[in-house]
């Protein structure tokens, strides 16, 4: 985003009950099941969900105790936890198929460590990380507030709170902010579309959600009533996978930075940490966040690239968007490379990624979340490098 002038910028989020997020949740459930049984399992799981049908497909390498029957059972439990027991999509009645099969031996020989060869990247590609000072979580503000609106609705729904009585799991949000000289100063529009039970009309749902939106946005940011769009089509009863087919990995911008930063194109859910699409994107966010947390810049974008079977990154690129405080980006890349081993093994070990920590990432974004030391989740959101980065640049 620009750092001068006045402009509008928009990001969207989707709830855990959105069809694509249901698919992501199931894929990460499969991944966590394998990592629970063996931390070094290899998993690349894709899920499709549609009217009363769930299909698992992909490649795995792990213990035989993780059977297709067990994974199909876990898929049902995931759907139950989200809250789907509707005529067109129910955890009880949906037909579940498992088409996971063994990982290619040719891929395995490139990725596995052997002799003097370190563990290689699971694929070629480019990955990005980003951080900025727009929110305390160092995330772009439009996406942060779009996520937060849906997270609060979902928490209330799960707790059977009367203030959201009649709302169902599928929902989307969209927040447009006005920027002046690179800083967000207020919302010009907010869109929320949420599935609901019969008997609730559009006006009732808007009256229900307006106070929640107002309490989520910073004081003075609330747009006028005519710029708050709730269920713009009027009715949203048929939703979830019954209303729209869902696929793993189809919400990659929602998962990352809401369009405020580049994206390498690779999805996250269902992939074990040898897949640099996931682990290197986490590492880039970790490094970018620490650069900003150290006060070296107000915005930081990092790009890395890999070749399949090769352990070292082919390139590491830093862009401080002109916000760096007497920081040379070439030196910054060198300093960071000395602090963190950006090989797939180095990332996995530094961020402790070979654990069943991925189900919580499957909705409301992989970044800008709070690390949980007890559960070991969102380790890439820590700012434990900030002090060392400050020292490296004499701060």
Residue 170 annotated as binding? yes
Cα gap 336→302, rounded to integer Å:
11
Backbone angles phi, psi at 301, to 5 degrees: -115, 135
Q: Which of 13, 76, 20, 18 is nearest to 246 (CA)?
A: 20
Cα gap 141→148, rounded to integer Å:
10
CA gyration radius, the chain: 21
Q: What is the dihedral of CA 69, 70, 72, 76, to 10 degrees?
A: 140
Residue 76 annotated as binding? no
Residue 331 annotated as binding? no
Residue 388 annotated as binding? no
Residue 312 annotated as binding? no
Do 110 and 125 touch, CB atoms closer than 8 A? no
The neighbouring-strand residues paired with 10 are: 176
96 is written with which tokens? 């579940």
Do 34 and 357 touch, CB atoms closer than 8 A? no
Residue 183 annotated as binding? no
Residue 244 annotated as binding? yes
Residue 197 annotated as binding? no
Residue 85 annotated as binding? no
Residue 4 annotated as binding? no
Q: What angle do CA 134, 222, 366 make, to 5 degrees?
A: 40
Which distant-in-sequence residues (6+ apart) come within 8 Å of 305 by Cβ? 124, 125, 126, 127, 313, 314, 315
Backbone angles phi, psi at 367, to 5 degrees: -125, 160
Backbone angles phi, psi at 278, to 5 degrees: -95, -60
Strand-by-strand arrangement of the 167-180 sheet: 6-14, 167-180, 183-196, 228-230
Binding-site annotation: residue ranges for Mg(2+)? 20
Binding-site annotation: residue ranges for L-methionine? 59, 103, 244, 275
Binding-site annotation: residue ranges? 18, 20, 46, 59, 103, 170-172, 244, 250-251, 267, 271, 275
Binding-site annotation: residue ranges for ATP? 18, 170-172, 244, 250-251, 267, 271
Binding-site annotation: residue ranges for K(+)? 46
């Amino acid at each position: 985003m620009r750092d001068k002038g006045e402009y509008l910028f928009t990001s969207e989020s989707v709830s855990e009950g959105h069809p694509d997020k249901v698919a992501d949740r199931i894929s990460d459930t499969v991944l966590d099941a394998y990592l629970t049984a063996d931390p070094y399992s290899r998993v690349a799981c894709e899920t499709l969900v549609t009217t009363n049908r769930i299909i698992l497909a992909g490649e795995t390498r792990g213990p035989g105790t993780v059977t297709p029957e067990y994974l199909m059972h876990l898929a049902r439990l995931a759907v139950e936890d989200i809250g789907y027991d509707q005529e067109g999509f129910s955890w009880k009645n949906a037909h579940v198929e498992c088409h996971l099969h063994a990982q290619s031996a040719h891929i395995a020989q490139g990725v596995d460590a052997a002799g003097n060869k370190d563990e290689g990247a699971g694929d070629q590609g480019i990955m990005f990380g980003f951080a900025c000072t727009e929110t305390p979580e160092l995330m772009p503000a439009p996406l942060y507030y779009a996520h937060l609106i849906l997270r609060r609705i979902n928490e209330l729904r799960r707790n059977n709170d009367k203030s959201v009585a009649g709302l169902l799991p599928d929902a989307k949000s969209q927040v447009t902010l006005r920027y002046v000289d690179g800083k967000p100063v207020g919302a010009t529009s907010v869109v929320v579309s949420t599935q609901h039970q019969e008997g609730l009309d559009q006006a009732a749902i808007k009256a229900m959600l307006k106070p929640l939106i107002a309490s989520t946005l910073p004081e003075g940011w609330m747009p006028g009533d005519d710029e708050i769009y709730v269920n713009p089509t009027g009715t949203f009863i048929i939703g979830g996978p019954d209303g729209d087919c869902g696929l793993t990995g189809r919400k990659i911008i929602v998962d990352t930075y809401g369009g405020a930063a580049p994206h390498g194109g690779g999805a996250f859910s269902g992939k074990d940490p040898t897949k640099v699409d996931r682990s290197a994107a986490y590492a880039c966010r970790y490094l970018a966040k620490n650069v900003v947390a150290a006060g070296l810049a107000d915005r930081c974008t990092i790009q890395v690239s890999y070749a399949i079977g090769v352990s070292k990154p082919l390139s590491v690129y830093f862009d401080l968007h002109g916000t760096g405080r007497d920081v040379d980006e070439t030196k910054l890349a060198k300093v960071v490379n000395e602090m963190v081993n950006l090989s797939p093994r180095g990332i996995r070990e530094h961020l402790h990624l070979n654990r069943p920590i991925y189900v919580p990432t499957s909705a409301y974004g992989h970044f800008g979340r709070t690390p949980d030391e007890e559960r070991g989740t969102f380790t890439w959101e820590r700012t434990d490098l900030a002090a060392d980065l400050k020292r490296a640049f004499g701060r």
